[in-house]
A = this chain, B = another copy of it.
Amino acid sequence: MMSDSASTGARELLYFEDLQVGRRFSSRTHQLDEAQILAFAGQFDPQPFHLDAEAAKRTFFQGLAASGWHTAAISMRLLVESAPIAGGVIGAGAEINWPKPTRPGAILHLESEVIELRPLRTRPDRGMVTMRSETINQAREIVQVLVSKLVVPRKVVPSE
Contacts and interface: CB of A to CB of B under 8 A. Distances in A.
B94 A46 contact: no
Contacts of A74: 44
Contact of A47 (B69, B70, B73, B89): B89
Contacts of A67: 73, 76
B89 A98 contact: no
A77 B46 contact: yes
A59 interface: yes
- Chain A at the B interface: mostly helix, strand, loop or mixed? mixed
Given A93-B97, A96-B96, A45 B59 contact: no
Copy number in this complex?
2
Contacts of A46: 77, 80
Q: Which of A46, A87, A93 has the most CB of B within 10 A?
A: A93
Given A93-B96, A94-B95, A98-B93, A45 B60 contact: no
Shortest 7 CB-CB contacts between residues of A and residues of B: A93-B97, A44-B73, A47-B88, A69-B73, A44-B77, A69-B76, A95-B95
Interface of A: 40, 43-49, 59-61, 67-70, 72-74, 76-77, 80, 87-98, 151
